[in-house]
Amino acid sequence: MMNPLVQPEIRIDSYLGDGQERSLADDARDGLTRPLKELPPKHFYDSRGAELFDQICELPEYYPTRTERAILNDTATELAAVTGAVELVELGSGTAAKTRVLLDALHAAGTLTRYVPVDVTEGMVRDCAQELIEEYPGLRVHGVVGDFERHLDRVPDPAGPRLVVFLGGTIGNFAPSERRRFLAQIAGLLGPEDHLLMGTDLVKDPEVLEAAYDDRQGVTAEFNRNLLHVLNRELDADFDPSDFDHVARFDAGNEWIEMRLRSRRAHTVTVRALDLPVHFAAGEEMRTEISAKFTRERIDEDLADAGLELVRWLTDPEEQFALTLSAPAG
């Protein structure tokens, strides 16, 4: 194989370095000293976390991935025609499994020249870049390894009409105020010719929602507990993951799924790198993620707040999941 360092089609810029470890340390110190303990979800995705997430996407209970893929299959040709995109910028790109449906359509339309994946997990960005230049001859990949909350300004200048994609319902993992701020930042990446394609999970029967985040095989529980392995490794903490149960509950007032880890017994964990003892009462819960579920009205309002307007509302026949194509309001 050719040395990946000298491949002219690939450029990868990494902005993580020390900053990310500091961010985990800051997040852990802030989150573990609150009355309701909390950790932000971006730290789930080390290589083991990324692997477990891939398994979640294949679970029978986890309908979002297959539903979003089906919508993409039905609409990619139209999306390629409407956007005329020359480049695709993807936030939280992961393995870009579903993105191929869009890349195929843009490649077939003859407009595609560049793919810009943005993700915190460096290995995924590198592997995916290598695969894609082999699958799409002539494609350039400019990967940005970083935190999309801090490094959006590192996305390279547009090479032509741009389509920004944010799939998987990841927008739902932001708290509402941060979600609005983030959408405004995304809008800042868009010129008058550009579009945003965003995937959002929709409000539905709580039983269906809770099963999607608490599967029978326990993969999601394992994914949730992986966060404790990350803290043990990166911050020299001494969590015993088997001391914690996985909890997933729909909060009807907020219309979001809340993921928590519940301590089975009273005990104290030490986060040695922070010199921080953390006491857990028996049954105490720590919040690890929210996953907001949307209505069309909510999405319209959020987009409008960010200066965007809806171009296409794309959903499956059962309205389980939605893709929205939007553009800067003219």
- The total of other beta-carbon atoms located within 10 Å of residue 50's CB is 19
Nearer to ligand TRP, 68 or 87 (CB): 68
**Interaction partner, residue 259 (ligand TRP, ligand SAH, none; CB < 5-8 Å by kind):** ligand TRP
- What is the rounded CA–CA span in Å between residue 135 and residue 141? 12
107 CA to centre of own chain: 24
**Nearest distance from residue 161's CB to ligand TRP, in Å?**
27
Q: Which residues bind ligand SAH (CB under 6 A)?
A: 42, 45, 53, 57, 65, 92-94, 98, 119-121, 147-149, 167-168, 170
Q: Which stretch binds ligand TRP (CB under 6 A): 8-16, 170-178, 266-274, 321-329?
A: 170-178
**Interaction partner, residue 167 (ligand SAH, ligand TRP, none; CB < 5-8 Å by kind):** ligand SAH
Residue 289 touches ligand TRP, criterion: CB under 6 A: yes
Closest CA to 20 of 117, 149, 125: 149
Helix 17-32, helix 219-235: angle, nearest 10: 110
Nearer to ligand TRP, 263 or 291 (CB): 291
Nearer to ligand SAH, 143 or 168 (CB): 168
DSSP string, 173-193: GS-HHHHHHHHHHHHTT--TT
Tally DSSP H helices, then E strands, for the chain.
9, 13
- What is the rounded CA–CA span in Å between residue 318 and residue 312? 17
Residue 93 touches ligand TRP, criterion: CB under 6 A: no
Asked if residues 152 and 189 have their Cβ atoms less than 8 Å apart, the reply is yes
Give the residues across from 325 on adjacent strands: 197, 312
Residue 213 touches ligand TRP, criterion: CB under 6 A: yes
- What is the rounded CA–CA span in Å between residue 224 and residue 32? 16
Considering only residues 41 to 60 of the shown chain, the ones binding ligand TRP according to CB under 6 A are 41, 44, 56
Residue 323 touches ligand TRP, criterion: CB under 6 A: no
φ, ψ of residue 66 in degrees (nearest 5): -70, -30
Nearer to ligand SAH, 119 or 285 (CB): 119
Asked if residues 91 and 189 have their Cβ atoms less than 8 Å apart, the reply is no
Nearer to ligand TRP, 44 or 294 (CB): 44
Closest CA to 172 of 120, 138, 212, 132: 212
**Interaction partner, residue 56 (ligand TRP, ligand SAH, none; CB < 5-8 Å by kind):** ligand TRP
- With b for 16 or more beta-carbon neighbours within 10 A and e for fewer, the 153-175 pattern comes to eebeebeebbbbbbbbbbbbbbe
Considering only residues 227 to 286 of the shown chain, the ones binding ligand TRP according to CB under 6 A are 259
Nearer to ligand TRP, 40 or 158 (CB): 40
Q: Which stretch binds ligand TRP (CB under 6 A): 7-15, 19-27, 216-224, 317-325?
A: 216-224
Closest residue to ligand SAH, based on beta-carbon distance: 168
**Interaction partner, residue 149 (ligand TRP, ligand SAH, none; CB < 5-8 Å by kind):** ligand SAH
Q: Is the dihedral of CA 122, 15, 118, 132 positive or negative?
A: negative
Nearer to ligand TRP, 121 or 220 (CB): 220
Nearer to ligand SAH, 163 or 167 (CB): 167
Q: Residue numbers of the site for ligand TRP (CB under 6 A)?
A: 41, 44, 56, 64, 168-170, 172-173, 213, 220, 223-224, 259, 289, 291
